[in-house]
Structure 1
Amino acid sequence: MDEHKPLRVVVTGAGSGLGAALADAWEARGARVLATDRDPAGLSLRRYADTHDITDPADWARIKGRVVEQWGGLDVLVNNAGVPGGGRLDVAEVEEWRWIFEINLFGMVTGLREFTPVFKEQRSGQIINVASLAGLVHPAGMASYNAVKAAVVALTETAGHELAGHGVKAAVVCPSYFRTNLMDRMQGADSGLAEVMRGLVSGAPLGADEIAQAVLEGVERGDEVIIPDPAARDAVRLKQQDRAGYDAVMRRQAAKLHEL
């Protein structure tokens, strides 16, 4: 990357929430940001914006074509777009699993397939995949979300190893609950769990802007796993340092699901 030229950044799911906050944070640092979203409503004030369905390979090809034609390449790809999900093992439908994996994993994979040749040719680039604390810590009632976010963590680590020889870096972002509108897209059969999740999101101490700033600081440090908030760091530390204590906490939380 040329330090004297503005960074060229694509942020998916940038119409609202963390995606919008990440786009704002990079723009504040002087970057050129192409903000994409399936819903164009939140993109109207962006200098560079495009509608984008991350599950559509043709849309990814079009976004890549625009970036290469207008900017000559890309420095940072932020795979942020995604949906919430979860549900107890005997309540969530199998179709819910397919839905969340199609968007949260295969949408990301499709983007990486499209942009990896660009990064290889440049011999530079930064991939940032937004996962969740659920990719590292696995509470009961959240099997589909835990599984897909753990897959994102694994995908990102693999990409970092595979592309290091081409000068390309990869980082995964694993926040705990923070205030955002993500729950607007929650769907599924386990309505009781959904209400619990909505309460955790609405009552979270941090908002999307604070998480976005922590993400950029992590990228600047060169972190490969960015855990941007204290609650997430505490949970990971407990699992790493006191597995019996961690299991006890998780099982107490699981017992509460019987009340739903």
Structure 2
Amino acid sequence: MNGKPVMLITGAAHGLGRALAERAIGEYRVALFDRDDSAGQATTEALRRADGEVLFLHGDVSNERDLRQAMERLQRRWGRLDVLINNAGVAAAGPFEALDEESWELPWRVNVMGAVYGCRAALTLMKRQGSGQVVNVAALAGLTAPPGMASYVACNAALIRLSEALAAELSVLGIRVSVVCPDLFPSEMERHMAGSDALSRARLRRALQGAPDSADRVAERILADLPKAPLHIFPQREAKKAWRRKRRRPGRFLEAMKEKARRLRRHT
């Protein structure tokens, strides 16, 4: 392989996507995929000033054509793709009966189908190489199923199971698959929520602001795990502990979620 390996990150102009790009730029040639053109260009220029090899690809992950065209540009530029990080995502929250069609459809199109389209586009290059790595960024909620986020939980659970299925299926092609399951960390997630009511948006904002880990720290831990390619990546210690608690004592874990639901409903 000539030069550094190539990484493509979706949702790369903000938050965790940008933090991943900033952390990876010393070791990888990085392609940034995002629909926010101005923020994407600004991130690209910042990485170039740091002497990074970077390519900005404008597009929407919910549009498969955008991802395929981006992959064609990447192939013409660098001729290969070593790591795909499907990071783009949106959130939704609120009581189940208050979740509208957008609260179900938009997270599915972006979080799940965006990853499906990314994987399908990347497979063209990775199959030819006989190697590659796919990293899908889901959320701990897909495993722990907290109340008040039914559509978000469902989408992340689907993305986790998709990743597990692909980890087996694509291994025979030399392609490794991991899924990242972070808990909350400070980000602009509440600004990109689908159809959420004001109270749910405010609750999420407070939870994000109170979370102990930064996006940069989460990105650092994700990238540190890439060479090992574990099926599940838990970039925070407490996230992994929560997953283990649920597996060991599912009944007790459910009771804790019920109590959380009772607290939420008292203020709904």
> So what's the TM-score if we normalise by structure 2?
0.92
Contact kept, 8 Å, 1:211 with 1:228, in 2: the verdict is yes
Aligned counterpart in structure 1 of residue 216 of structure 2, from 209, 217, 233: 209
CA separation in 1, counterparts of 2:102 and 2:6? 37
Question: For residue 75 of structure 1, what is the amino acid of its counterpart?
Answer: D
Matching residue's letter, 2:15? G
Separation (CA, whole Å) in 2 of partners of 1:154 and 1:5? 34
What residue number does 2:118 align with?
A: 111
2:24 corresponds to 1:32: no
Per-residue CA deviations over 1:36-66 (Å, capped at 9, x if unaligned) read 1110222222432121111112211211101
CA distance in 1, matches of 2:93, 2:168: 30
Residue of structure 1 equivalent to 2:192? 185
- Secondary structure class of the residue paired with 1:171: strand
1:41 equivalent in structure 2: 38
User: What residue in structure 1 maps to residue 51 of structure 2?
Assistant: none
Instruction: Please state how far the C-alpha of 1:209 moved relative to its aligned partner.
Output: 0.4
Hey, what does 1:59 align to over in structure 2? 66
Partner of residue 172, structure 1 = 179
Across the aligned residues of Structure 1 and Structure 2, the Cα RMSD in angstroms comes to 1.4
Q: Out of 8, 11, 16, which is 2:9 matched to?
A: 11
Q: Distance in 2 between matches of 1:187 and 1:149?
A: 15
- Which runs of no fewer than 5 residues in structure 1 stay unpaired? none
Q: How far did 1:129 drift? A: 0.5
Partner residue, 1:84: 91
1:220 partner SS:
coil
Equivalents in 2 of 1:215, 1:69: separation in Å? 28
Q: How many residues align?
A: 257
Amino acid across the alignment from 2:24: W
Please give the per-residue CA displacement for 1:129-164, whole angstroms capped at 9, x wherever unaligned. Answer: 000001111011111000000111011111111110
Amino acid at match of 1:19: G
Within 2, Cα distance between the matches of 1:183 and 1:95?
A: 15
| Secondary structure class of the residue paired with 1:82 | coil
Comparing 149-158 with 49-58, greater Cα deviation is found at: 49-58
Once the two structures are overlaid, the 10-residue window that deviates more, 104-113 or 147-156, is 104-113
Listed one character per residue, the Cα deviations across residues 192-228 of structure 1 (whole Å, up to 9, x for unaligned) are 2222111111110011000001101221222110011
Instruction: Supply the AA of the counterpart residue of 2:246.
Output: K
User: Does 1:241 pair with 2:248?
Assistant: yes
Residue 189 of structure 1, CA deviation: 4.3
| Contact residue 174 and residue 225 of structure 1 kept, 8 A | yes
The TM-score, its normalising length taken from structure 1, stands at 0.94
Task: Provide, for residues 78-106 of structure 1, a one-character-per-residue CA deviation record: whole Å limited to 9, x for no partner.
Answer: 10011111221111113320111111111
Deviation at 1:19, TM superposition (A): 0.1
One-letter identity of the residue aligned with 2:115:
M
| Distance (whole Å) between structure 1 residues aligned to residue 94 and residue 119 of structure 2 | 28
Q: Once the two structures are superposed, what CA deviation does each residue of 1:14-45 show, in whole Å capped at 9, x if it has no partner?
A: 101000011111113x2100111110222222
Unaligned runs of at least 5 residues, structure 2: 48-53
- Alignment match, 2:50: none
Q: What is the one-letter code of the residue matched to 1:220?
A: P
Question: What is the letter of the counterpart of residue 168 of structure 1?
Answer: I
